[in-house]
């Protein structure tokens, strides 16, 4: 692996975004150097044929590849595809280069640290690496943080996506005809742009009207609209995916699934917002990464594809299932079942009631469907967190604990 540090461009802005400190990430390098992530999906025939034709310079550029979904995508890509991959990531609190430490010696992988809001920096990365595609994950992604302070969400998700689009369009315009035709910009988005469903309403399809409710969802909706506009106005070859809630290895423990696993393990209270009846559709992260590769290979330019796990669950069911799994993996020490730790806390303001995805389009057009049942994916995920305690330690910095205090102290009900 090669690490390029272009922090000389826009260094003051980078410093103010609190990237993960080197000592923290070095602590867990050792653990990940020795472990190879097991992937569910073997290399496809298409990728084998396509990969052999690639030259080393004909890379893909991924933004936000050190985050949760990005890390899983990078690992799956390098395991299955010969095309080199450049990872542009600012390494905010959510980005962790240790997730990709197994790629340290892989000459097909390169991490470039920097900000998608920095036009000069993005232009330099494109000029130096000449990617044939961009997969855009980089974002601020946590709804509760967007409620506490939306400003970073507007900056990264709206301004950052705009900056990336603009620089990518300039780069693409300078390509020869054949390269321009083959180029793709895949924008990774969320089902939250569609708003909230009633209990009996049909699942979100690609033609559902946008109705984002949280600052996070609104910032992603804005970015989706910009991506769409670049296709319609300039013919820039975009693809957009809108997926449901991901879960799996490497998820930062501020989101429901890892937070509950770790609290249950440590016998801390398990905070459930409201009455726990809100519904999310759960998508195993490796299934999502395979769907993105499928859309990148075969998706129709300018189209949107919804990606779902076909696993709607109430939050209380998810939390209870995690409790049962942790009880099974770490048998009772006399303290009683973990579900007794469930604590109903003040609800999230504007909490969306239900998300559900109609994934018929990607299934019928591109032949992708989720392969991991929620129960088996959750089992793998709990097992992963139990086996990676030093990773957990390394991501729980002082800033993480400050967030946990801020978010949950206010919620405790009298
Ligand atoms: P994450 O928060 O775990 O990771 C985000 C990554 O982006 C981090 O590595 C971070 O360092 C990087 N980043 C943030 N700001 C940046 C900037 N200005 N410049 C460069 N890099 C920057 O997010 P995730 O959960 O992996 O989500 C990835 C994408 O998928 C996001 O666009 C998110 O909106 C979308 N999505 C996520 C989910 C989910 O369940 N996690 C569901 C639907 C859609
Ligand atoms: P989260 O993982 O934050 O994802 P999202 O808000 O993008 O759906 O939350 C998933 C669901 O779990 C959501 O309905 C809010 C709820 N939740 C809790 O009940 N307790 C918690 O501590 C957290 C973080 C979330």
Q: What is the pLDDT of residue 333?
A: 73
Question: From residue 366, how far is each of 17, 177, 185, 243 by CA, in Å?
Answer: 39, 26, 18, 16
Q: What is the pLDDT of residue 40?
A: 34
Instruction: Please state the atom number of ligand 2 nearest to the C-alpha of residue 355.
Output: 8
9-250+282-314+350-373 fold:
Rossmann fold (3.40.50)
- Chain-wide mean pLDDT for the chain? 88
User: Residue holding tokens 């990940």?
Assistant: 32
Lowest mean pLDDT among 201-215, 222-236, 328-342: 328-342
- 28-41 confidence digits (pLDDT tens): 222 323 233 222 33
What SS3 class is residue 280?
strand
Measured from the alpha carbon of residue 219, the closest ligand is: 1
255 lines ligand 2 (CB under 6 A): yes
* Three-state DSSP state, 112: strand
pLDDT bin (cut points 50, 70, 90) of residue 62 is very high
272 CB near ligand 2 (under 6 Å): yes
Report the pLDDT averaged over residues 391-399.
Answer: 88
Query: Which amino acid residue places its CA nearest to atom 35 of ligand 1?
Result: 189
Does 49 score more than 60 pLDDT? no
pLDDT in tens, 139-192: 999 999 999 999 999 999 999 999 999 999 999 999 999 999 999 999 999 999
Q: What DSSP string describes 173-229?
A: HTS-HHHHHH-EEEEEEEGGGG----TTSPPB-TTSPP---SHHHHHHHHHHHHHHH
pLDDT band at 1 (very low <50, low <70, confident <90, very high): low
What pLDDT sits at residue 335? 87
Contacts with 345 (C-beta within 8 Å, 6 or more apart), sequence order: 271, 272, 273, 408, 411, 412, 413
Mean pLDDT of 360-378: 98
Measured between alpha carbons, how far is 234 from 259 in angstroms, rounded to an integer?
A: 43
pLDDT of residue 410: 79
The model's pLDDT over 270-318, given as tens digits with 9 standing for 90+, comes to 999 999 999 999 999 999 999 999 999 999 999 999 999 999 999 999 9
Average pLDDT over residues 263-267: 96
- Residue whose CA is at the smallest distance from ligand 2 atom 3: 255
**Mean pLDDT within 39-68:** 60
Q: Which of 246, 315, 352, 381 to mutate to test the pocket of ligand 2 (most atoms within 8 A of CB)?
A: 315
Give me ligand 1 centre to Cα 27, in Å. 23
Check pLDDT > 60 for residue 414.
Answer: no
> Is there a contact between 1 and 111 (Cβ–Cβ < 8 Å)?
yes
Q: Which residues are catalytic?
A: 191-192, 216
pLDDT per position as a tens digit, 14-33: 233 333 333 222 222 223 23
Q: For residue 48, is pLDDT > 80?
A: no
pLDDT > 70 fraction of the chain, expressed in percent and rounded = 86
pLDDT tens across 114-136, in order?
999 999 999 999 999 999 999 99
The domain locations on the chain are 9-250+282-314+350-373
Residue 223 confidence class, pLDDT cut points 50, 70, 90: very high
Section 219-233 average pLDDT: 99
Element (H or E) spanning 307, and its range? Answer: strand 304-307
Mean pLDDT over 64-78 rounds to 98
Q: List all residues whose CB is within 6 A of at least one atom of ligand 1.
A: 63-64, 66-70, 89-92, 94-95, 115-117, 137-139, 141, 156, 160, 188, 190, 220, 243, 245-246, 252
Evaluate if pTM is beyond 0.75.
yes
Residue 256 Cα to ligand 2 middle (Å): 5
State how far the Cα of 312 lies from the Cα of 334, in Å rounded to an integer: 33
CB of residue 283 inside a 6 A radius of ligand 2: no
Query: Which ligand minimizes its atom distance to the CA of 411?
Result: 2
Q: Which ligand ends up closest to the CA of 349?
A: 2
Does the beta carbon of 245 sit less than 6 angstroms from any atom of ligand 2? yes
Residue 53 confidence class, pLDDT cut points 50, 70, 90: very low
The percentage of the chain sitting over the pLDDT mark of 90, rounded to a whole number, equals: 81
Q: How confident is the model at residue 58 (pLDDT cuts 50, 70, 90)?
A: confident
Q: Residue 352 CA: which ligand is closest?
A: 2
Residue showing tokens 């975009």: 238
Q: How far is the CA of 338 from the centre of ligand 2 (A)?
A: 19
What's the gap in Å between 190 CA and the centre of ligand 1?
A: 11
Could you identify the atom of ligand 2 that is nearest to the CA of residue 272? 19
Q: Over 80: is that where the pLDDT of 76 sits?
A: yes
118 three-class SS:
coil
């Amino acid at each position: 692996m090669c690490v390029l540090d272009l922090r000389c461009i826009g260094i003051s802005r980078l410093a103010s975004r609190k990237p993960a400190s080197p000592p923290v990430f070095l602590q867990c390098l050792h653990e990940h150097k020795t472990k190879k992530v097991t992937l569910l999906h073997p290399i496809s025939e298409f990728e084998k044929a396509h990969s052999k034709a690639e030259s080393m310079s004909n890379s893909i550029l991924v933004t936000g590849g050190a985050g949760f979904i990005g890390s899983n995508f990078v690992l799956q890509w390098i395991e299955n595809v010969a095309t080199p991959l450049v990872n542009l990531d600012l390494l905010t609190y959510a980005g962790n280069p240790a997730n990709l430490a197994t790629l340290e010696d892989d000459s097909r992988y390169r991490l470039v640290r920097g900000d998608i809001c920095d036009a000069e920096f993005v232009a330099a990365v494109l000029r130096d690496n000449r990617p044939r595609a961009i997969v855009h994950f980089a974002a601020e992604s946590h709804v509760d943080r967007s409620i506490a302070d939306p400003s970073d969400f507007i900056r990264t998700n709206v301004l950052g996506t705009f900056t990336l689009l603009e620089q990518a369009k300039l780069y693409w315009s300078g390509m020869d005809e054949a390269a321009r035709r083959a180029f793709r910009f895949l924008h990774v988005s969320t089902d939250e742009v569609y708003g909230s469903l009633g209990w009996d309403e049909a699942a979100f399809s690609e033609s559902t009207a946008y109705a984002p409710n949280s600052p996070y969802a609104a910032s992603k909706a804005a970015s989706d609209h910009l991506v769409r506009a670049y296709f319609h106005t300039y013919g820039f070859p975009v693809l957009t995916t809108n997926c449901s809630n991901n879960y799996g290895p490497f998820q930062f423990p501020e989101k429901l699934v890892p937070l509950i696993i770790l609290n249950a393990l440590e016998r801390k209270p398990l905070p459930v917002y409201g009455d726990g009846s809100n519904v999310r559709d759960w998508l195993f992260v490796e299934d999502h990464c395979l769907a993105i590769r499928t859309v990148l290979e075969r998706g129709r330019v300018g189209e949107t594809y919804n990606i779902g796990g076909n696993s709607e669950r109430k939050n209380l069911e998810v939390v209870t299932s995690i409790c049962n799994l942790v009880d099974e993996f770490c048998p009772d020490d006399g303290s009683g079942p973990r579900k007794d730790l469930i604590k109903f806390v003040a609800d999230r303001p504007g909490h969306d009631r239900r998300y559900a995805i109609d994934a018929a389009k990607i299934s019928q057009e591109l032949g992708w469907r989720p392969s991991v049942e929620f129960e088996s994916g959750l089992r793998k995920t709990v097992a992963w967190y139990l086996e990676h305690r030093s990773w957990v330690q390394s991501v729980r910095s002082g800033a993480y604990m400050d967030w946990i205090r801020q978010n949950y102290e206010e919620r405790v009900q009298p």
